[in-house]
Chain A
Amino acid sequence: MTWIYLTSGLILGWSLGANDAANLFGTAVATKMLRFRTAAVVGSVFVVLGAVAGAQGTSRTLGRLGAIDAPAGAFMVALAAALAVLFLLTRSGLPVSITQAIVGAIVGWNVFTGRPTDLKTLGQLMSSWFLSPLLSALIAAALFTLTRAGMRRLKLHLLEADALTRGGLVAAGAFGAFSLGQNDIANVMGVFVRVSPFPESTRFGPFSATSVEMLFLLGGVAIAVGICTYSHRVMLRLGSGLTSLSPLGALIVVLAAATVLFVFGSPELQRLVKACHLPGWPLLPVSATQAVVGAILGISVVRRSGIRPKVLGQIALGWIVAPVAALGIALVGLFVLQNVFELPVSATPRTTAASGAVAGSRS
């Protein structure tokens, strides 16, 4: 039965692949600097690697926000986030944030089961929604300025600059896909960590994988399937949607966004920072969409070029609609699961009066 519950996470992973991976390769594919097939293969391989490497990183933060302890609850939380993204926004062709959707759905589970929401974690997550695009904008602006100066100094032939950018787009895309897998796997499979159907250890010849690593490997494969099957359309839309970017601009956008995802999602970087006795920061699942939009804004400020406000407004609207919609869908879905299908959505009883009223209505 738990395997069936995992399907909602897999759908969410597919949706993440279709939407967020498009952020990494969108401009490169739309401007025909990269073939979609190349982007899909590179993206798929590195997103799976990143997903396995990201085990226990950002998923712990989501675990603190809501420790979902019943498979049916986890199923509905992931399904609510997937539905919010899939039906509300993906059909419009705009890239949307799964990060916000999953946070909204987890808060919905907390509300429904009467669990207190860890406001500190919620605050950290919400602040990252603003911090990540800001950091991405700063990195992109700095990279763009440095790259432009470097290109002028190097005096590369137009064709050489093209070849260099093309190679850079593949490398940056691989880094971006790895960081995306590492950071956002928590959004896809994080809610299933406590109810994983995999054994404690699985052996592959000389290698062994933990239950969480297997879970995240499965999630990574789902993301890869999303990249291969549906991201092309979103890539073409993104490549010509927000602002007109040159391939070099696209390379910088991907690098900046990937760096932000890596910084917020890499346990290794955290360990390194702590080893150097520097102040650390919480590992947070951040939105690749927001990081990309932030980077594009950063470049636009340096270039003093225009951004199409309507598209920017639609994307910002998506950021608000996604968590609210996921919260609403989670509440309704959990109610249906518990009262119609009589499935336990939580292993422990509710604690608040408000939820007691819901429990009363059930009996």
Chain B
Amino acid sequence: MNFLFRRTRALEAQIDQFLDAVSEGCLVFEQGVDDYLRRDFESFEERLRAIAVFEAKADALRREVETRLYAESLIPDHRGDVLGLLENLDNVIDQAKQTLGQFEVERPEVPEDLAPDYVALAKAGSQATQHLVDSCRAFFRDITAVRSHIHKVYFFEKEADRLADALKRKIFSRDLELARKIHLRYFCLHVETVSDRAEEVADRLAIYTIKRTI
């Protein structure tokens, strides 16, 4: 068997490395938000650099995998789906990096009692992406297990929606300047977008899975 799969092993490893990069990048995102809200800016800067490295690595791996899939005419019947999957997964880590970057640029002043809500929101988004990565791994190796991971992505996305909604209500029920309220809501939206991106990929993955099982 190894003789047959010698050519594909390297590409399989690259796909796994890409998924690892997305997964680790999203975990770093969660920790970065936590560091910022705890005002540990030194650690936050480190997280920012780390997520940039993961994002760049994911980009490079995605391009390499895409090139090889086309150049070697591999998986012709699922190539389009796999490319779509990788590109949309890449958008998730891009979004996480972008959000963390906005914390650095805009330095929002988050009231201390609201910090745990932001952290919980970032954690829900991160968990959604972890289950998304698991479902993508299952898509490549064990198609029957995809569903059991995808439903967790949807669960954490809904959880993120619920937390974001509660946080926005809290923000606007406060006696703060309107500009600050809008600024805080803006960051709430940005942190929430990570889970939205994960949900978009999960939707695509569900269709790709149906196509593969027919």
Contacts and interface: CB of A to CB of B under 8 A. Distances in A.
A203 interface: no
Which of A164, A167, A303 counts the most B-chain CB atoms under 10 A from its CB?
Answer: A164
Nearest to A249: B77
Contact of B12 (A32, A160, A247, A303): A160
B110 interface: no
Contacts of A303: 214
A31 B4 CA distance: 21
B76 A305 contact: no
Given A157-B140, A158-B140, A167 B4 contact: yes
Contacts of A157: 8, 12, 140-141
Q: Is the interface of A mostly helix, strand, loop or mixed?
A: helix
B214 A31 contact: no
17 contacts: A31-B76, A32-B73, A33-B73, A33-B76, A152-B143, A155-B141, A156-B141, A157-B141, A158-B75, A159-B11, A159-B12, A159-B75, A159-B140, A160-B12, A163-B4, A163-B7, A303-B214
Interface in A1-57: 31-33
A20 B214 CA distance: 28
Interface in B147-172: none
Interface in A122-158: 152, 155-158
A162 interface: yes
Interface of B: 4-5, 7-8, 11-12, 15, 73-78, 82, 139-144, 214
A305 B214 contact: yes
A159 B78 CA distance: 10
A246 interface: yes
A158 B78 contact: yes
Nearest to A162: B75
B150 to A, nearest CB: 17
Contact of B142 (A31, A155, A164, A167): A155
B124 to A, nearest CB: 30
A164 B4 CA distance: 7
Given A31-B76, A247-B77, A158 B141 contact: yes
Interface residues of A, number: 18
B141 A31 contact: no
A158 B83 CA distance: 13
Q: Is the interface of B mostly helix, strand, loop or mixed?
A: helix
Nearest to A305: B214
Nearest to A304: B214
A163 B5 contact: yes
B8 A159 contact: yes
B76 A247 contact: yes
Contacts of B4: 160, 163-164, 167
A303 B210 CA distance: 13
A296 to B, nearest CB: 15
A162 B212 CA distance: 13
Interface string A286-315: 000000000000000001010000000000
B77 A31 contact: yes
Given A162-B8, A167-B4, A247-B76, 6 more contacts: A31-B77, A159-B8, A159-B12, A159-B140, A163-B5, A163-B7
Contact of A160 (B8, B77, B78, B143): B8
Closest 3 CB pairs of A and B: A159-B8, A32-B76, A162-B75
B144 A152 contact: yes
A271 B87 CA distance: 58
A34 B142 CA distance: 25
B190 to A, nearest CB: 34
Which of A156, A162, A164, A247 counts the most B-chain CB atoms under 10 A from its CB?
Answer: A162
A157 B5 CA distance: 10
Nearest to B142: A155
A156 B143 CA distance: 10
A280 B211 CA distance: 43
B2 to A, nearest CB: 10
